[in-house]
């Protein structure tokens, strides 16, 4: 049985990735310091499987890695400071800690005896500078030249940590695959993201209106089950080493207002949409060119936006809204 380590594995992507890997015959170690991820019943139930192990580790302390084995076949590095509100409050920590986390993971991975792949989760934010200052092709291919936004902007810190992180990986000497996630959504992703946040407002609000920020901004959304399946297949692929891949959906491209309308309908809410201001630093469009990923994996996402939103609402209504449960941040 091949062995996998997922750093930051208690969060949204990590949990679903761990479940997918475990269901496909891997032995999975989930490492996290639980600064943001939560030990909810879903994570604990997953960790009770015979091939899943939950590890409480401070990954900023490289000595923590010394407690781990040296026989991992794959390392998925997901640990990072993410989320707009955290990035705006502590840009220095985003830059310094995200790089330190990655360096510790790379140094640890270099000691592995049978490492087949090191997977680094980058971000779709790396295209934001090109969109602002130059012509960004939409859908956006991985070969797009990258530019950064003003270095004094707090939001630039996250993008820059990921661009620098991609460079570190490519020069690390490891068999690296870089993932650029595009708007993943689904159960257990916390309430600080657009889809669950709108569902929460639609379900609980006693107001007559729902304020939608950046209503004309356009996005494509990818349901988490499709996303982690693509990530696993890319990690297993021999030809993906040394390459970067968009992971997401190329269509349909929808406005945030249209997304809100679908959410209100699914939640059976009578709220009326009120146009809010544009969120500072938010890209006006984000849509990945998925041709390279689909060609490499042979997989095309199958969960429609309508179906994915219904599944997401059902999970939040059942586990969070009605039962006041926790959800990964």
Q: State yes or no: pLDDT of 329 exceeds 60.
A: no
Confidence of residue 206 (pLDDT cuts 50, 70, 90): confident
User: Average pLDDT over the chain, rounded to whole?
Assistant: 95
Percent of the chain's residues with pLDDT above 70: 98
CA proximity to 76, closest of 130, 131, 21, 125: 21
Worst-scoring range by mean pLDDT, 37-46, 89-98, 295-304, 320-329? 320-329
The single-letter DSSP state of residue 230 is H
> If residue 235 lies in a helix (H) or strand (E), which one and from where to where?
helix 224-236
Instruction: Assess whether 92 carries a catalytic annotation.
Output: no
Which of 144 and 87 is assigned the larger pLDDT?
A: 144
Q: What is the pTM of this model?
A: 0.96
Does any domain span residue 52? Answer: yes
Confidence of residue 327 (pLDDT cuts 50, 70, 90): low
Does any domain span residue 134? Answer: yes
Confidence of residue 85 (pLDDT cuts 50, 70, 90): confident
pLDDT reported for residue 205: 85
CA proximity to 275, closest of 295, 261, 257, 248: 257
pLDDT reported for residue 87: 87
Does any domain span residue 113? Answer: yes
Q: State yes or no: pLDDT of 108 exceeds 70.
A: yes
Does any domain span residue 264? Answer: no
The single-letter DSSP state of residue 37 is S
pLDDT reported for residue 281: 80
CATH number at residue 14: 3.40.50.720
Does any domain span residue 315? Answer: no
Does any domain span residue 67? Answer: yes
Confidence of residue 328 (pLDDT cuts 50, 70, 90): low
**Ordered DSSP codes for 192-225:** SSHHHHHHHHHHH--SSEEEESSTT-EE--EEHH
Does any domain span residue 61? Answer: yes
pLDDT reported for residue 3: 98
pLDDT reported for residue 180: 98
Q: Are 68 and 62 in contact (CB under 8 A)?
A: no
Does any domain span residue 25? Answer: yes
How confident is the model over 157-184, as a mean pLDDT?
Answer: 98
**Range of the structural domain that residue 167 is part of:** 3-185+223-248+286-303
Which residue is catalytic, options 158, 185, 203, 223? 158
Domain count, the chain: 1
């Amino acid at each position: 049985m091949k062995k996998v380590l997922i750093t930051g594995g208690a969060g949204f992507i990590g949990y679903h990735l761990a479940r997918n890997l475990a269901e496909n015959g891997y032995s999975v170690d989930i490492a996290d310091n639980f600064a943001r991820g939560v030990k909810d019943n879903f994570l604990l139930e997953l960790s009770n499987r015979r091939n899943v192990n939950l590890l409480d580790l401070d990954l900023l302390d490289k000595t923590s890695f010394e407690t781990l084995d040296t026989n991992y076949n794959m390392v998925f590095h997901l640990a990072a400071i993410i989320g707009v509100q955290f990035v705006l409050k502590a840009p220095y920590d985003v830059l310094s800690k995200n790089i330190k986390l990655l360096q510790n993971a790379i140094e640890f991975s270099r000691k592995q005896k049978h490492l087949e792949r090191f997977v680094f989760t980058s971000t779709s934010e790396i295209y934001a500078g090109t969109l602002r200052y130059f012509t960004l092709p939409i859908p956006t291919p991985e070969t797009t030249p990258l530019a950064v936004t003003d270095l004094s902007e707090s939001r630039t810190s996250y993008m820059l940590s990921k661009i620098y992180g991609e460079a570190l990986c490519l020069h690390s000497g490891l068999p690296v695959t870089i993932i650029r996630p595009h708007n993943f959504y689904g159960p257990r992703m916390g309430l600080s993201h657009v889809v669950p946040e709108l569902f929460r407002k639609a379900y609980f609000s006693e107001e007559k209106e729902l304020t939608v920020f950046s209503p004309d901004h356009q996005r494509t959304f990818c349901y988490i089950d499709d996303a982690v399946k693509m990530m696993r297949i890319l990690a297993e692929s021999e030809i993906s080493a040394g390459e970067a891949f968009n992971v997401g959906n190329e269509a349909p491209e929808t406005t945030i207002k249209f997304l809100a309308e679908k959410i209100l309908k699914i939640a059976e809410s009578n709220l009326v949409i009120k146009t809010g201001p544009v969120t500072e630093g938010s890209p006006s469009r984000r849509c990945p060119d998925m041709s390279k990923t689909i060609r490499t994996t042979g997989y095309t996402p199958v969960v429609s936006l309508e179906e994915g939103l219904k599944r997401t609402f059902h999970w939040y209504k059942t586990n969070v809204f009605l039962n006041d449960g926790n959800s990964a941040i």
